[in-house]
Amino acid sequence: MDFDFLVVGGGIAGVSCTEQLASLAPDSRIALVSATSLVKSVVNFKQVATILSDFDVVERESSCLSSQFSNVSTFQARLVALDPEQHVSTMEECLGTEKRRIAIKYKKLCLCMGAKPKIVFENPHVIGIRDTESVKTFQEKLKKAERILIVGNGGIATELAYEIGQCHVVWVIKDSSISHVFFDEATARFFIPALTKKSGGDSEASGGETRPTKRIKYTLMKYEDPGCDSKGKTILVASKGDQNRRVEIGNERERGSEDRGAALGPDWSSGLDLAGQLKEHRRNASVETECEIREILTPEQYKLTTRAKRQDERLDWPVYALLTNGKIYGCDFIVSATGVVPASDDLLRYCKFNVNDDGGILVDHQMQTSCTDVYAAGDLCAAAWKPAELWFQMRLWSQARQMGAYAAQCMVANMAGDEIPMDFCFELFAHATKYFGYKVVLLGKYNALGAEHELLFRFTDGEEFVKVVLKNGRMQGAILVGETDLEETFENLILNQMDLSCYGDSLLDPSVDIEDYFD
């Protein structure tokens, strides 16, 4: 079979690439290969600002793409061999119990096979969450659980810690504060109360009106306190009248996995029943910071420990986790949510791609790999170009959509012998999501720290949290939590690099309509 464009991967990057190819090159022949019959599609897309966008992700049958675009053919198969010199890929089709190999010739190929979860321990009581099938497995196990242990501090771990109800959750993180992948310690503190609210996001009565607190301006400096062991932490000192406030900021499956589904999209937990078997509807999460799992014990092994002899701990948990801080927790099962690694292992057997340290396939500013006419997008790839000052790669669905669509534009242009300028979306990191029941927007270098940076905060307990990062009076990044309506204004201020020095603390004054002021 001959095609002009071949896309491998049914995730957001692959489907976005396919849809863009079909629109840009309606007379070309396009093939999409997905390991499962379901693919991820972007719906309800909304351009919030110049770069920032918001959208939902749904699963649908891959055949829907063929119905939508007459020049697209879809295959449920997996890549088993690739010959870039001959422009031939070998696929193994999965049709029930039957398997057959087919050769697909292409002119341009885009690899969008995503990433696979890192599992802390290979153990029947340890599960990873990456796609729809793994979520189903998790739900079934959770229904019978009274206590589970979550390891990891990224997006999926954060969502699970908040969404799970009627079950005691022990959240084990190696950092000093929760959700460290996205938030510094000061920001993370805003979310802590959400871990003990009623399941389903029902907030309790506040007992009175709350107002934004006085804007506080932070500058970085070393804090020396003989009576306090800071353990190498940086201290933010906030001047407020004659008093100083201190905020400590912490330092900085084998063959079967080939048939895994595409990565979960935004709000993947919405509408799912994530409840254990306890009757208590309040969230019951505890956090073990600055530690990891040292060893996994069977009930028999646990009974031999000194802790089992001296503490009133149940002796019949299915599995026990010994943490590096010396604590042991028994639980029904363990969720490994320690991030992902690019699914490039098999590809490297076929081709000598240039890769970075974590296995991501390196791509240039046109999304091309080191192999001729082979492109890559999404979690599988690693940006090898010199990035814009306020952009960085993070394996998120928002960037997967952008990369997939941009790769398609580059492929079409290259087919015509042209080269297009880099898409404007790579000028600024911008991501919108939802954590702990709050809308969260991340812009630019939102977690930048350094002696040259200033941080401005505005917050109302249980309602909103705004953090702005300034350098030489110019906005470098921002975190917006809640319905702040500041995302478009702040994105423009970051892109324009306007000198904001003259505004001082009033930049976050809640009585000023900043959106209208800078319009």
Domain boundary among 398, 426, 454: 426
Same domain, 309 and 169: yes
Same domain, 193 and 326: yes
> Is the CB of residue 68 less than 8 Å from the CB of residue 448?
no
Structural domain contains residue 263: yes
Structural domain contains residue 221: no
pLDDT reported for residue 283: 67
pLDDT reported for residue 389: 96
Structural domain contains residue 230: no
pLDDT reported for residue 235: 33
Domain boundary among 426, 454, 488: 426
Same domain, 171 and 300: yes
In DSSP notation, 378-405 reads: GGGEEE-S---TB------HHHHHHHHH
pLDDT reported for residue 118: 87
- Residue 325 CA to chain centroid, in angstroms? 27
Same domain, 510 and 368: no
pLDDT reported for residue 256: 38
Same domain, 315 and 190: yes
Same domain, 96 and 192: no
Cα–Cα distance measured from residue 435 to residue 447, given in angstroms and rounded to the nearest whole number: 17
The end-to-end CA distance of the chain, in Å, is: 54
Question: CATH number, domain at 257?
Answer: 3.50.50.60
What is the tally of structural domains in the chain?
3
Same domain, 451 and 414: no
Structural domain contains residue 232: no
Cα–Cα distance measured from residue 274 to residue 142, given in angstroms and rounded to the nearest whole number: 7
pLDDT reported for residue 377: 98
Taking the CA atoms of residue 236, residue 240, residue 244 and residue 250 in that order, the dihedral angle to the nearest 10 degrees is -20
Domain boundary among 288, 311, 336: 336
Structural domain contains residue 213: no
Same domain, 42 and 69: yes
Q: What is the pLDDT along the chain (519 residues), one digit of tens a residue?
A: 899 999 999 999 999 999 999 999 999 999 999 998 889 999 999 999 999 999 988 889 999 999 999 999 999 999 999 999 999 999 998 666 778 899 999 999 999 999 988 888 999 999 988 666 678 888 899 999 999 999 999 888 998 888 888 899 999 999 999 998 889 888 898 988 887 665 544 433 333 444 343 333 444 433 333 333 333 333 333 333 333 333 333 333 333 334 555 555 555 445 556 777 777 666 688 899 999 999 999 999 998 887 766 665 688 899 999 999 999 999 999 999 888 889 999 899 888 899 999 999 999 999 999 999 999 999 999 999 999 999 999 999 999 999 999 999 999 999 999 999 999 999 999 999 999 889 999 999 999 988 899 999 999 988 999 999 999 999 999 999 999 999 999 999 999 999 999 988 888 988 877 877 776
Structural domain contains residue 81: yes
> Is the CB of residue 191 less than 8 Å from the CB of residue 435?
yes
Sorted by sequence, the CB contacts under 8 Å of residue 74 that are 6+ apart come out as 31, 32, 33, 34, 39, 62, 63, 65, 66
Cα–Cα distance measured from residue 10 to residue 71, given in angstroms and rounded to the nearest whole number: 17
pLDDT reported for residue 281: 60
Same domain, 13 and 98: yes
Structural domain contains residue 434: no
Range of the domain at 186: 117-204+253-336
Same domain, 175 and 259: yes
Structural domain contains residue 225: no
Enclosing H/E stretch for 140: helix 132-142
pLDDT reported for residue 238: 36
For residue 343, what are the CA distances in angstroms to 113, 115, 364, 434? 6, 5, 19, 26
Question: CATH number, domain at 493?
Answer: 3.30.390
pLDDT reported for residue 240: 34
Same domain, 278 and 129: yes
Whether the predicted model's global pTM rises above the 0.85 cut: no
Same domain, 40 and 186: no
